[in-house]
Amino acid sequence: MTVSVHPASSLDALTALLDLRPGSGRTDAGPDRARLGVVGGRFLVPLDFPDASPEACLAYLGLRDRRTQVSRGAVGLALKAGLTRFVAREELTADTGPGSLIALLADLLDDPDEEPGLAVAVGLRRIDEVWKPTLQVFRPDGTPAAFVKIGLGPVGDRLVSAEAAALAAWGDHPDPRLVVPDLIADTTWNDLRIAVVAPLPEDARRLPPGTPSAWAVRDLDGPEQHATLEAAAWWTERREACQDQPAIDELLDQIAARHRGDERAWARWHGDWVPWNLARCHRGLIAWDWEYSEPGAPVGLDEVHGRYQQAHVVEGRTIADALAEAHRGEGWLADAHVAMLITRSAELERLLGTPPRDQHELLAAVKTVKTVRR
């Protein structure tokens, strides 16, 4: 089945990926089909494994926002109480036969010590420019088995590839100061990049208010390196990539003029160091979603971008207000953050073939905040 790289909705994308079909309501959907129930119009839960279906809603519930905790918690408890027909009023079936995505996952996650079979759950969220399908996979007893990220489209492929590379690097150089999910597999299916990532620790819990320092990330590639702006690969690669975009190239010129010849510290960054990608367990701090991670980034960029994301995404401030909040008291790192945001937007435009929806607002905000900072 052909998977569109520009699906109209997440359900359309998942229909193609999993060969979803309307369910018949029968207990047995056939040897090569798995039953999925649509709950709340926003989530697909497995119906063939009674112990796994409630866990698809209850697993990691403490890490989610209050609204999701209430809605998914209620559904999970109803499923646990055997009230499936009241909460899953629509049924679909997915292909599990030879050549299917679920069959591939079953092979990759095969464990002779576990009961055979996999239960798959997935959200039906509104898609945006960086959306990619992410499956939650459980064992029949409800134990989390993996997260599966699918590189649908050029943006999804870039993000999944970056995460797989970062997790592979962590696997080669583990650091006990930071808990990072293992990369189980980096493969392809029907020409789509697939990253199979280990589940989070069972005792993962939310962090207290505030974002911790990303200092543990910086040592992944060895000690911090010191170099001038014009000698740093992180910067020069961005300059080269944006030479054909005059508006962004001009802003980068202005940043270069302010910092030319200044030696800075460079090291690995996570790329999306925000509370919803962080937690704690008995082993320490946990960090996941490494899709934007890069080597040799400006040291301190994670913390600045984290403040920006908190202001813009969580608090709902405009881009200009969020930048002003994140950049308060910063000089070089404020400019480095601007460079990251505008070059990331330029890269999205190259991959999408059209400017991201927020690019105009971002460029206008950057100019405003830059003027205020002067």
Q: What is the CATH number of the domain that holds 271?
A: 3.90.1200
Question: How far apart (Å, rounded) are the C-alpha atoms in residues 365 and 374?
Answer: 14
Task: Using pLDDT thresholds of 50, 70 and 90, give the confidence band for residue 27.
Answer: low
Q: Say if CB 169 and CB 220 are below 8 A apart.
A: yes
Quick check: 259 pLDDT over 60?
yes
Both 129 and 90 in a single domain?
yes
Of 314, 313, 327, whose CA–CA distance to 373 is shortest? 327
Tell me whether residue 169 is in a domain.
Answer: yes
Both 42 and 92 in a single domain?
yes
Q: Tell me, what amino acid is at 80?
A: K
Question: How far apart (Å, rounded) are the C-alpha atoms in residues 47 and 297?
Answer: 45
Q: Which of 135, 162, 197 is the last residue of a domain?
A: 197
Q: Which of 197, 229, 247 is the last residue of a domain?
A: 197
Quick check: 25 pLDDT over 90?
no
Which of 26-30, 256-260, 335-339 has the weakest average pLDDT? 26-30
Both 193 and 236 in a single domain?
no
Tell me whether residue 99 is in a domain.
Answer: yes
Average pLDDT over every residue of 274-303? 95
| pLDDT at site 53 | 93
Beta strands in the chain (DSSP E): 21-22, 33-39, 43-46, 88-95, 119-123, 134-138, 144-151, 178-179, 183-189, 192-197, 225-228, 263-269, 278-281, 284-287, 294-298
- 88-95 and 21-22: which strand pairing? antiparallel
Average pLDDT over every residue of 149-169? 96
Average pLDDT over every residue of 368-372? 67
Domain that holds residue 352: 215-373
Task: Using pLDDT thresholds of 50, 70 and 90, give the confidence band for residue 295.
Answer: very high
| pLDDT at site 119 | 96
Both 21 and 118 in a single domain?
yes
Both 227 and 173 in a single domain?
no
Tell me whether residue 208 is in a domain.
Answer: no
Both 51 and 167 in a single domain?
yes
Both 283 and 189 in a single domain?
no
Query: To 10 degrees, what angle do helices 233-241 and 332-352 make?
Result: 40
Q: What would the pLDDT profile of 89-112 be if each residue is shown by its tens digit?
A: 889 999 999 999 999 999 999 998
Tell me whether residue 260 is in a domain.
Answer: yes
Which of 18-27, 79-88, 104-113, 213-222 has the weakest average pLDDT? 18-27
Both 159 and 257 in a single domain?
no
Both 157 and 242 in a single domain?
no
Q: What would the pLDDT profile of 185-222 be if each residue is shown by its tens digit?
A: 999 999 999 999 999 998 999 988 777 899 999 989 98
Q: Which is higher by pLDDT, 35 or 369?
A: 35
Tell me whether residue 202 is in a domain.
Answer: no
Both 21 and 169 in a single domain?
yes
Tell me whether residue 255 is in a domain.
Answer: yes
Q: What would the pLDDT profile of 109-139 be if each residue is shown by its tens digit?
A: 999 888 889 999 998 888 889 999 999 999 9
| pLDDT at site 374 | 47
Average pLDDT over every residue of 297-308? 97
Please count the structural domains in the chain: 2
Quick check: 277 pLDDT over 90?
yes
Average pLDDT, the chain: 91
Average pLDDT over every residue of 309-332? 94
Percent of the chain whose pLDDT exceeds 90: 72
| pLDDT at site 132 | 94
Tell me whether residue 4 is in a domain.
Answer: no
Of 191, 348, 335, whose CA–CA distance to 255 is shortest? 335
Q: What would the pLDDT profile of 164-180 be if each residue is shown by its tens digit?
A: 999 999 988 888 889 99
Both 81 and 182 in a single domain?
yes
Quick check: 299 pLDDT over 50?
yes
Percent of the chain whose pLDDT exceeds 70: 96
| pLDDT at site 368 | 85
Spacing of C-alpha 70 from chain mean position: 23
Of 13, 5, 34, 156, whose CA–CA distance to 95 is shortest? 34
| pLDDT at site 4 | 63
Quick check: 315 pLDDT over 80?
yes
Quick check: 303 pLDDT over 80?
yes
Q: Which of 133, 165, 197 is the last residue of a domain?
A: 197
Here the tokens at position 250 are 């001009």
Q: Say if CB 291 and CB 271 are below 8 A apart.
A: yes
Q: What would the pLDDT profile of 243-252 be if each residue is shown by its tens digit?
A: 999 999 999 9
Tell me whether residue 46 is in a domain.
Answer: yes
Both 309 and 272 in a single domain?
yes
Average pLDDT over every residue of 215-235? 94
